[in-house]
Amino acid sequence: MALTIVTSRRFLDHLNPPGHPERVERAEVMQAVATAFARRGGTVVEPRAASAAELGRIHDEAYLERIKATAGRATALDPDTFTSPDTYDAALLAAGAVLSGVDHVLDGGRGARALVMVRPPGHHAERDRAMGFCLFNNVAIGAAHARARGLARVAVVDYDVHHGNGTQQAFYGDPSVLFISSHQFPFYPGSGAAREVGSDGGRGFTANFPLEAGGTDADYEQVYDVVVELLRQFRPALILLSAGFDAHEDDPLGGMRVTTPQFGRLTAMLASAADECCEGRLVAVTEGGYDLTALGGSLTGVAGVLDGTTALDDLPVPSGDTRRADASIAAARSHLGGSWKI
């Protein structure tokens, strides 16, 4: 597989207040994973900055001006989301890194994949609002870029422990982008109920799988069997993955029990769907994940899957009680059964 990692040491320049979980050490972990990949002969590239026009496909002009005004300053955008003097430039690169990843995959031929390791993360950022550590919605900007390049259908899958409210908002009425999220529920940011399925012409093209706290590898395995079926029915030309690792059993923010190998399995399941639906084209983009050891191990495992070193069959198949998954799938079926076979 032709995997390229897109990242930059400049993501170290985004600083949050002391004690904040989205700390600079996360970027150091990303750099360590990228360095190890390069030493094995892998390709690591620097991102470009996103332009105002590219950001404007997702965010309001007035909002972009407000964020631009934070350049060179330390500010609090909400109780959880902060800027430092270099944050604006880092955020432009984070969004641009996804654009670089999408371009690599679309121009790279069959089997091209990208792992985009960035901060600040993005999936909570709404059209006119920063929240949840996020300034620009990196993955949504990437999906809009793919559509602008002519793709008829794009899928965004989000396995972060938190619901990707900003990504959902961006495409809620848009049938060309299928948004699928699994997440702890009820939990921050409060959205992501199974009844949220899209609006108007986009009804049925948002699929939420809310999971009760305590979800295990077996729960996630069962949910992602269904996710893969939805992808097969939708047949996107590209899959974007919001790869947050805060559903890990060791994460300090989430309440789930997913293990490091299971993130590899989930990614491998999605990569297999990409092989079947869209010539292997998949772009994984970092979101959350706040235990540094879990973050490093999960990123390494995902890189191994995406570069073809690790196959789905190489990873242990989970077993055990799946009552949380059963409830989540039943809820999704009750709201989406008219749109998809679940």
Report d(CA 37, CA 179) in Å as an integer: 30
Question: pTM of the predicted model, to two decimals?
Answer: 0.97
Kindly list the distances between the CA atom of residue 269 and the CA atoms of 37, 183, 312, in Å, as whole numbers in the listed order: 22, 17, 7
pLDDT (0 to 100) of residue 160: 98
Of 134, 142, 61, the closest CA to residue 100 belongs to 142
Give the tens place of pLDDT for each residue, 278-321: 999 999 999 999 999 999 999 999 999 999 999 999 999 999 99
Give the tens place of pLDDT for each residue, 95-106: 999 999 999 999
In degrees, to the nearest 5, what angle opens at C-alpha 52 toward C-alphas 64 and 108? 130
Average pLDDT, stretch 144-161?
A: 98
Catalytic residue IDs = 124
pLDDT (0 to 100) of residue 193: 98
Average pLDDT, stretch 17-32?
A: 98
Report d(CA 302, CA 239) in Å as an integer: 15
Give the tens place of pLDDT for each residue, 237-265: 999 999 999 999 999 999 999 999 999 99
Average pLDDT, stretch 198-203?
A: 98
The separation between CA 298 and the C-alpha centre of its own chain, rounded to angstroms, equals 14
What domains does the chain contain, in order, with CATH numbers? Answer: 2-336 (3.40.800.20)
| Res. 167 pLDDT band, cuts 50 70 90 | very high
Measure the CA dihedral 140/142/144/146, to 10°. Answer: -150
Report d(CA 247, CA 328) in Å as an integer: 16
Give the tens place of pLDDT for each residue, 27-62: 999 999 999 999 999 999 999 999 999 999 999 999
The answer to whether the beta carbons of residues 121 and 287 sit under 8 Å apart is yes
Average pLDDT, stretch 191-200?
A: 98
| Res. 1 pLDDT band, cuts 50 70 90 | low
Q: Is the pLDDT of residue 18 over 70?
A: yes
139: tokens are 């993955």
Mean pLDDT, rounded, of the chain? 97
282: tokens are 């998949």
Q: Please return the burial class of 108, using the count of CB atoms within 10 Å of its CB with bins 0-12, 13-18 and 19+.
A: middle
Give the tens place of pLDDT for each residue, 212-233: 999 999 999 999 999 999 999 9
Average pLDDT, stretch 54-83?
A: 98
Residue pointed to by tokens 């880092």: 90
Question: If DSSP states are collapsed to H, E and C, what string results for the chain?
Answer: CEEEEECCHHHHHCCCCCCCCCCCHHHHHHHHHHHHHHHCCCEEECCCCCCHHHHCCCCCHHHHHHHHCCCCCCEECCCCCEECCCHHHHHHHHHHHHHHHHHHHHHCCCCEEEEECCCCCCCCCECCECECCECCCHHHHHHHHHHHCCCCCEEEEECCCCCCHHHHHHCCCCCCEEEEEEEECCCCCCCCCCCCCCCHHHCCCEEEEEECCCCEHHHHHHHHHHHHHHHHHHCCCEEEEEECCCCECCCCCCCCEECHHHHHHHHHHHHHHHHHHCCCCEEEEECCCCCHHHHHHHHHHHHHHHCCCCCHHHCCCCCCCCHHHHHHHHHHHHHHCCCCCC
Angle between helices 260-277 and 292-306 (to 10 degrees): 30
Give the tens place of pLDDT for each residue, 80-90: 999 999 999 99
Average pLDDT, stretch 185-194?
A: 98
